C-alpha cells in the first residue's frame, strides 16, 4: 500500500505566502527521502491561510525541486476552468517533468459565490462536470484524427486522473468512468463508508482504468508523546473552527486548552469533521492507522498534517512514514 502527502502550502501566523511555498518545497524534498509516493497540492481561493491557489504553477515549482516523487493536484476544481486549459497546463507539466504528474479533479468550486464571479465561472458549471472530465481526458489521451481541437502540449501525455469527492456523486462518477477515487475523509467523513461501498460495487472497467483504486485521506499528527501530539493538533482544530464560523485565517500556534480558542458549541462539529485522524505517539498513531486501514482497505493513504511548527511537522510526517514503511514490510504478500 502506497502512502502520500496532501499539502495546501499553509500560511502560519507570523509568516507569509513566500515562506509557506518554501516550506512546501522543503517538505516535498524530505518526503521523497522518507518514501512517500505522491505530493499533492490543492486549489483553494480567497483563503489567506492557503498559498496553493495557482495550483499548476506550484506543482511545477515543487516538481522542479524534487527528483522522483509524484507531484500533482489534489485537486483542481474543474468547474473553475475550461477543460482545454487544464489539459494544456498538465500536459505542459508532464512534458517538462515526465511521467510523475497527477491530476486530481474535484467538483467543488474552491470558494464561494464571490469567488466564482471573480473567476468568471458559474455554479451551473457543476452540472457539466462529468462531460468536462471526459473532455479533459480526451485532450490528454491519444491523438484523435479529425478532432477540431487538440491540446498542445497535452495530447498523448495520458496524465493519470483521479476523481476527488466527499459524497456519493463523486463515487458514482469515478465508478462509471473507471477512474481511481480519492475521498476527502480528512474533513468530510460523513459519507465515507457508503461512498466507498458504492464505488467498489459499481466500478466499470474502461479505457481509463481496469480495477477500482481507492485513496483514503487521513489527518496525521505524530509526536513523541500523546500529549505533545494533541497539543499540536489544536492549531488545525482552531483553523477549521474559524473556517466554519466564516472567519478563515492563518494557521494559529497551538494552545494548551482548546476551549480557550474554540467555542464549546462548535467543538463537536470540529471533532466530527476531523474524526478520520491518527494523533499521538508513534504507538498510538500506528494503532489508529492500522484500524483505519483494516476498516476501509484503501489502496493508498494520503496524509494531511497542518502543524504550526515546521520542525514538528517534518517530525510528524517522518514518524508516519516509518510506521507505514514497517507496515508494508510486514504485510503478507
pLDDT digits (tens, 9 = 90+) for 33-84: 999 999 999 999 999 999 999 999 999 999 999 999 999 999 999 999 999 9
Which DSSP string corresponds to 135-148? HHHHHHSS--TT-S
Report the C-alpha gap between 263 and 257 in whole angstroms.
Answer: 11
111 band by pLDDT with thresholds 50, 70 and 90: low
Domain count, the chain: 1
Cell of 125: 458549471
Domain that includes residue 223, residue range: 2-330
Compare 127 and 90 and report the one with higher pLDDT: 90
How many angstroms separate the Cα of 115 from the Cα of each of 44, 59, 118, 273? Answer: 10, 22, 5, 24
Report the C-alpha gap between 290 and 304 in whole angstroms.
Answer: 17
Report the C-alpha gap between 87 and 103 in whole angstroms.
Answer: 10
Close Cβ partners of 324 (under 8 Å, ≥ 6 residues apart): 1, 3, 35, 289, 301
Q: What is the 3-state secondary structure (H, E, C) of 206-270?
A: ECCECCCCEEEEEEEEECCCHHHHHHHHHHHHHHHHHHHCCCCCCECCCCCCHHHCCCCCCHHHH
Question: Across residues 277-287, what is the average pLDDT?
Answer: 98
Q: Please check the confidence at residue 123 and state whether its pLDDT lies above 60.
A: no
CATH label of the domain that carries residue 79: 3.20.20.30
Question: Across residues 225-235, what is the average pLDDT?
Answer: 98
pTM over the 0.85 mark: yes
Instruction: Compute the mean pLDDT over every residue in the chain, rounded to the nearest whole number.
Output: 95
Amino acid at each position: 500500500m502506497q502512502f502520500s502527502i496532501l499539502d495546501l502550502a499553509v500560511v502560519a501566523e507570523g509568516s507569509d505566502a513566500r515562506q509557506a511555498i518554501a516550506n512546501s518545497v522543503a517538505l516535498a524534498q524530505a518526503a521523497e527521502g522518507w518514501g512517500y509516493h505522491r505530493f499533492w497540492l490543492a486549489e483553494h481561493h480567497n483563503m489567506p491561510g492557503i498559498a496553493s491557489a495557482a495550483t499548476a504553477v506550484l506543482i511545477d515549482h515543487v516538481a522542479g525541486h524534487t527528483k522522483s516523487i509524484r507531484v500533482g493536484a489534489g485537486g483542481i476544481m474543474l468547474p473553475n476552468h475550461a477543460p482545454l486549459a487544464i489539459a494544456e497546463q498538465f500536459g505542459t507539466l508532464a512534458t517538462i517533468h515526465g511521467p510523475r504528474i497527477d491530476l486530481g479533479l474535484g467538483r467543488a468550486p474552491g470558494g464561494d459565490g464571490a469567488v466564482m464571479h471573480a473567476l468568471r465561472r458559474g455554479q451551473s458549471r457543476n452540472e457539466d462536470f462529468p462531460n468536462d472530465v471526459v473532455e479533459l481526458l480526451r485532450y490528454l489521451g491519444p491523438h484523435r484524427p479529425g478532432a477540431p481541437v487538440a491540446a498542445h502540449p497535452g495530447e498523448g501525455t495520458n496524465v493519470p486522473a483521479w476523481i476527488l469527492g466527499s459524497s456519493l456523486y463523486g463515487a458514482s462518477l469515478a465508478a462509471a468512468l473507471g477512474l481511481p477515487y480519492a475521498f476527502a475523509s480528512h474533513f468530510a467523513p460523513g459519507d465515507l463508508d457508503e461512498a466507498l461501498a458504492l464505488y467498489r460495487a459499481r466500478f466499470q472497467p474502461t479505457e481509463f482504468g481496469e480495477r477500482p483504486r481507492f485513496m483514503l485521506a487521513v489527518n496525521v499528527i505524530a509526536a513523541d508523546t500523546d500529549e505533545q501530539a494533541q497539543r499540536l493538533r489544536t492549531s488545525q482544530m482552531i483553523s477549521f473552527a474559524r473556517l466554519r464560523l466564516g472567519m478563515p485565517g492563518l494557521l494559529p500556534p497551538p494552545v494548551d486548552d482548546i476551549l480557550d480558542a474554540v467555542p464549546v458549541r462548535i467543538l463537536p462539529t470540529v471533532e466530527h469533521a476531523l474524526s478520520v485522524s491518527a494523533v499521538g505517539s508513534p504507538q498510538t498513531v500506528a494503532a489508529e492507522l492500522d484500524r483505519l486501514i483494516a476498516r476501509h482497505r484503501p489502496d493508498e493513504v494520503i496524509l494531511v498534517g497542518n502543524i504550526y511548527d515546521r520542525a514538528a511537522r517534518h517530525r510528524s510526517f517522518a514518524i508516519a512514514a516509518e510506521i507505514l514503511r514497517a507496515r508494508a514490510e510486514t504485510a503478507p504478500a
